[in-house]
Amino acid sequence: MNPDRCFGGSLLVLIGMFTNVLGAFIGINIGTDVSSMPSASEVVSIIKTHRITHVRLYDADSHMLKALADSGIEVTVGVTNEEVLGIGESASAAAAWVNKNVASYVPSTNITAIAVGSEVLTSIPHAAPILVTAMNNLHKALVASNLNFQVKVSSPQSLDIIPELFPPSTAAFNSSPNSTLYQLLQFLNNTNSYFMLNAYPYYGYTNGNGIFPIDYALFKPLPSVKQIVDPNTLFHYNSMFDAMVDATYYSMDALNFSGIPIVVTETGWPWQGGPNEPDATVENAGTFINYLIRRVSNDSGPPSRPNIPINTYIYELFNEDKRPGPVSEKNWGVLYTNGTAVFPLSLSGSSQIMGNATTVFCVAKDDASEGKLQDGLNWACGQGQANCSVIQSGQPCYLPNNTKNHASYAYNDYYQRMHTVGATCDFGGTATITSNDPSYRSCIFTGSSNSSAREGLLPPGAFGPVSPLGESMKLLVSKVRYVISAACLLIILL
C-alpha cells in the first residue's frame, strides 16, 4: 500500500471520526437592514471574536462570502423570495445562481447549505407551487458541480404551517399528501437534507393569551405542578422551544416522514418593544438567549427524538433598525454594531461571558499596511520574543493564514507579558487596544485587566532585526505520520 495514499485516506477517516463526535452548534443569522452596517470584514472579525462557527446569510452577498473565506465558518447562503420564481422556472437560471454564488467561492468559503426563500409557504403563497421545483433545480446544479454532498438544499418554514402545536403528539401540517409541503419533505428525504424551521417562543407566548407561563417560553425551570405534559405520550416539556420542535417532528410523522432531522434556522427574543410589547425587554432577551445556548449545547433533542441534537441559528446578530413594523421588530440583535453585547452573552456555549468586558487585548489594526504588519510581526517574533509557535502551520492559530491574524496573536502575546514594565500596544502604529476577545475555536488570546491597559514608557520604536517566525513543525508532523502509519497497519491487518 502506498504510504502517502494511506496517510491521506486515514486522515479522512480520522476527520470523519472527529466530525461525528462534534456536538450541536449555535449559529447566527446576519440581516442587513441596518442603518450603520459594519463592513463585511468587520462583521467577520466580530463573528470570530465571539467564536461563532455557523452563520446564515439571507442572500449571497459577495462581500460577505469573500470576507468569510479561509475562516472555517460554515455558511448557509440564501435564495431571496424574489429569486425563487425565476430559479423555479428555469434550470439554467438555477445553474447560473449556483455557479455565481456557491461554486465560485468554495472551498475557500465553507458554504454548506442553500436556504431557498424565507417562509415561502406562508409569506408568498403564490410562489409555493414552484418552490420544490426551484429546490430541485438548485440540487441538480450542485450535482453538476460535484457539490451536492457538501451543500444541502432546504427551505425555512414558519410554524404557521402547523395549526395546533399542543399537544405536540397530535400536531399536523395544514396540508394534504399532494401538497407542496409533502413534495418538499420528499425532496429533503431523497437528498438527505434537513427541515429548516423558524421557531419563536416569543410569539408563542405573546399570542397565547396567557395559556402558558412566561418561564416556559424563557427556558426557566418550572416547578413540578406547572410542568407541561403531553397527555398522550406523558412527555414532559421543560420549554416551549422543545415543544415547537417536537410538534414539527410529529407533523412529519403524520405524513410518514420520520428520518428528516430539524435545524432551527431562526429563534430569538426582542430586547426592546413599544408600549404594547411589555415582554420585549433586555432581561427577557438575555435569559432566553443564554438558556437557549445552554439547552442546545447539551447535545440532546426534544422528548420524541432525544438523540438528535437541535442545531440552532439565533435571530440575529445586529438590530435591523430599518425593518418596518412594531418596535420589537427592530430589536432582535444580540450585539451592537461595534461588536459589544447587548446583554451578558456566551455565544460559543463556553463559560466565557461577553458583556461589559473586563479584559483587553492588543491586536493589529484593520487599516494597517501589509508591509508594516510584516515588520511588526517579525519584530514581535524576533526581538520581542513573543511565543509564535502557535501561528505555525498545523497549530491552533495558524488559520486564517494571513499577516494580520498572525500579527494580532504575536502583538498580543508580547503586550500581555511586557505591558506591566512599560511596553505599549503600538508596533509602529499598526496595533490597537480592544476589549473584544479575538479568540476563536482553540486559538486562545490572553487578556489583561482594563486597569493595566494604559500607555507605557517603552514603545517598540524601531523594530529589531528581521527574524523568521520559527522552524516548521517537523516533530509534530512526524508524530502525526507515526499515528496514521499505525492506523494504516491496523487497516491492512484487518
* Positions marked catalytic: 119, 266
| β-sheet bridge partners, residue 314 | 28, 267
The H or E element containing residue 121 is helix 120-123
Count of CB atoms situated within 10 Å of the CB of 371: 10
Please provide the distance, in angstroms rounded to a whole number, between the alpha carbons at the two ends of the chain.
14
Cα-only R_g, the chain:
25
Question: Can you tell me the distance from the alpha carbon of 23 to that of 454, in angstroms, rounded to the nearest whole number?
Answer: 40
**At 233, which amino acid appears?**
T
The SS3 call for residue 224 is: helix
| β-sheet bridge partners, residue 26 | 312
- How far are the Cα atoms of 279, 298, 303 from residue 306, in angstroms, in the given order? 30, 11, 5
Q: CA quadruple 289, 315, 202, 312: dihedral positive or negative?
A: negative
Question: Can you tell me the distance from the alpha carbon of 399 to that of 19, in angstroms, rounded to the nearest whole number?
Answer: 18
**At 489, which amino acid appears?**
L
Q: Per the structure block, which three cell numbers stand in for 403?
A: 499577516
